[in-house]
Amino acid sequence: MRIKNLILLLIIFSSLATYAQDMAEYTSGWEGTLKNPKTFNLKVEIKNLGLEKARFKISNNKNIIDYPFNSKRTSILEIPFAENYSFKGILSENGKEINGFIKSGMLLYHIKLTQSKSSTFIGAWNLLMLDELKSLNFYLSVENGEGDDYQAYPILGDNRFTGTWCDNFQKEKDLISFTDFKTGLHFKGKLEKNKIQLSILLGNHLLTEIELKNSITDWKIGGFKNDNKNSILKLTEMEYLISKDSFPNTHSVVISKKGKIEYENYFDGYNSNIPHDMKSASKSISSAIVGIAKDKLLFNSVKQSIFDFLPEKYQTRKDSLKTKIDIQSLLTMSSGIDAIDYGINANPKSSATENNYQRTPDWIEAILKAPMIHKPNTNANYGSANPALLGVAMDSVISEPLELFIDKFLFQKLKISNYIIQTDLRDKPYFGGGMYLTPKDMLKFGELYLNKGKWQSKRIISKNWVEKSFKNYRNLENVTDKNGYGYLWWHNTYQINGKNIKSIEARGNGGQYIFVIPCLQTVVVITSGNYRNGKTQQPEILFEEYILPYLEN
């Protein structure tokens, strides 16, 4: 009897110890090693297409998901293959490929599935945007631990991955869980003495497991060798300065002239296969989608009020001034809404900046309730709320899913398939920025506009739309250089040998640039990672001082 009582007491104490775990004890840096550099490079398959018993499969070095679905009599494949994950796609007219998107977290990953000899459609999903990890180091920063409260942030040794946006931190007994709402990855950890057993999942489907131990040395992040190539154009001085960190965090430079690539180089381990976060540079792609919709007569005029396109629930925000917000005012950053992303004029509480409206459950409601500071089409102030409204407008006039329209009428025509679209809270493409394209595909987009809407002699966007897009409507009042602005395209002028060289540019935070230089028949793409060091405009210096002189020769 005495032994039984002792066993019972041990069980009770063990149980109490489990319940009493304090996250303060785990507030620290943790590290482990991934087992495979292609853990997050997933094979996607669709088998038995056209039959009731079709299957959607995802695997890496093991089977992860095998989801049965009925594929008969459907024009658009919609496959909810796991909780909060889905695939949506369309079979091509020749029946040989499926183009679609995996919705995971805040991202729409474009997937191109090609028919194999066995009639299975096969494609790839690079969940972390990378073709392969260069480092297997995995780190976890557990922060602000107290009782059951904490935050946890996974960090890869391969810093070419743009990072996680984690939330939904939960704890029950010795188990913790949280989600990266950007990629959709789910993390579950078992707290043990001096270690954390961490599982990484797609929904409830295991991708991999890692044993994490307390970090005792500094984390090894990045530091990868350049993947430089031989190019026609020799930019040795620029390359030297990049290698010496005079132009830090430069990831790529790609240049074409008259449609032919003259220069292509990658730095910090980047390569031609990695889609880069374009940030706001993809606003110019949003402009192209508006143009394609206009060319297809899906709406009548850029002079139409935004309220012609908005759902009924937003009509209460219409007043005598806001009803004058039209498509053109949104394209030119001239809506008049207090949506200023930069500068000292924005009201920190009532303005519709990204920092404000993206923290609300309804982004469009938050934008529309912001005060007006100008009459529409009079003053231009840069702000992402303007193209965000454009996205809602285009979604209302396009009958098919917006992302499939974008793919069919723009990216497929440019032969672009390795890309990602960021969504808003409605799970729709976000027109304010955040697409991921490879630098060479960014170059194709620039060439499309350089050639006034044609690519490889095929018309994609009307010449009229491109000309209107490149027109300088008015100067941006809230940026330092007071740049001219078109339909979500920037204007700038550079000097070389006493000559002024005009450039039309797509620009994104951190240093993402597409320079279109009509007078030189040239497109230059520079991607970077200068998000918090004040060097976001570094590509302009690179272009003017170390690239432009060679383009002039």
- 224-274 pLDDT per residue, tens: 988 778 889 999 999 999 999 999 999 999 999 999 999 999 999 999 999
Calculated CA dihedral for residues 282, 286, 289, 290, nearest 10 degrees: -160
The CATH class of 225-277+437-553 is alpha beta
Long-range contacts of 458-462 (CB under 8 A, 24+ apart): 458/413, 460/292, 460/409, 460/410, 460/413, 460/414, 461/288, 461/291, 461/292, 461/295, 462/291, 462/295
Residue 418, class by beta-carbon neighbours within 10 Å (0-12 exposed, 13-18 middle, 19+ buried)? buried
Q: Where are the domains of the chain?
A: 22-34+133-214, 41-126, 225-277+437-553, 299-397
Model confidence pLDDT, tens digit, residues 515-545: 999 999 999 999 999 999 999 999 999 999 9
Model confidence pLDDT, tens digit, residues 356-387: 898 899 999 999 999 999 999 999 999 999 99
> What is the b/e burial string over 318-338, where b = at least 16 CB atoms within 10 angstroms of the residue's CB?
eeeebebbbbbbbbbbbbbbb
Does the pTM surpass 0.85? The reply is yes
**In the predicted model, is pLDDT for residue 345 greater than 50?**
no
**In the predicted model, is pLDDT for residue 552 greater than 90?**
no
pLDDT value at residue 462: 98
Model confidence pLDDT, tens digit, residues 166-193: 999 999 999 999 999 999 999 999 999 9
As a whole number of angstroms, the distance between CA 431 and CA 330 comes to 11
The separation between CA 148 and the C-alpha centre of its own chain, rounded to angstroms, equals 33
| H or E element, residue 397 | helix 385-397
- Span 488-507, mean pLDDT? 96
2 pLDDT tier (thresholds 50, 70, 90): low
Q: Where are the alpha helices (DSSP H) in 307-369?
A: 327-331, 354-357, 363-368
**In the predicted model, is pLDDT for residue 446 greater than 90?**
yes
Of 425, 426, 439, 430, residue with least CA distance to 406 = 430
Residue 175 pairs in a beta bridge with: 172, 190
As a whole number of angstroms, the distance between CA 113 and CA 91 comes to 9
- Residue pair 267/258 in contact (Cβ under 8 Å)? The answer is no
Looking at every residue in the chain, the average pLDDT score rounds to 93
350 pLDDT tier (thresholds 50, 70, 90): low
- Span 191-204, mean pLDDT? 96
Q: Would you state the structure tokens that stand for residue 259, as one six-digit string? A: 């449609």
134 pLDDT tier (thresholds 50, 70, 90): very high
pLDDT value at residue 4: 56
**In the predicted model, is pLDDT for residue 152 greater than 80?**
yes
pLDDT value at residue 20: 59
51 pLDDT tier (thresholds 50, 70, 90): confident
- Span 444-462, mean pLDDT? 97
